């Protein structure tokens, strides 16, 4: 398959995985501390609260799409490209999305890591 198809597949993996991560993180912040919930209301309440949260469920759908995008991309491209590229770019996208959408503080050290990771992916793409 062409390089364009490979990088298109990697893009689908990264976007799906990042959307899933952000949605699930947002849902878990809304739900709160699972340990406190379990101690006060029991394990069934924890499962019910998580399983009925729309953002959590939507996040699972996006993560499933990311997984199947990975499988499809691996069917036509080398794992030595797809694996590192998708994992690295997901790290970059998660840092950016967490900062912009979840208003997380991303330290300078993590931003530096993002730059180095992106440079590594650029080398991989050459």
Question: Using one digit for the tens of pLDDT, what is the confidence trace for 54-74?
Answer: 999 999 999 999 999 999 999
In the chain, where the domains are located = 3-125
State both tokens at 92: 């970059």
Length reported for the chain = 126
Distance between CA atoms of 107 and 120, rounded to whole angstroms? Answer: 20
Q: What is the pLDDT of residue 15?
A: 97
pLDDT of res. 120: 86
pLDDT band with cut points at 50, 70 and 90 for residue 126: confident
CA distance 122 to 48: 43
The two structure tokens encoding residue 36: 């406190």
Q: Are 38 and 45 in contact (CB under 8 A)?
A: yes
Q: Write down the residue that tokens 């893009």 correspond to.
A: 11
Structure tokens of 49? Answer: 């609260």
């Amino acid at each position: 398959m062409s390089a364009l198809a490979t990088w298109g597949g990697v893009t689908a993996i990264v976007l799906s995985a990042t959307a899933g991560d952000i949605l699930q993180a947002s849902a878990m912040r809304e739900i709160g501390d699972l340990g406190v919930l379990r101690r006060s209301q029991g394990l069934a309440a924890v499962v019910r609260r998580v399983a009925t949260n729309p953002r959590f469920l939507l996040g699972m759908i996006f993560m499933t799409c990311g997984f199947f995008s990975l499988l499809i991309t691996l069917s036509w491209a080398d794992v030595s490209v797809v694996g590192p590229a998708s994992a690295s770019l997901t790290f970059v996208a998660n840092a950016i999305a967490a900062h912009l959408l979840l208003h997380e503080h991303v330290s300078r050290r993590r931003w530096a890591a993002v730059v180095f990771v992106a440079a590594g992916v650029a080398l991989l793409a050459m």
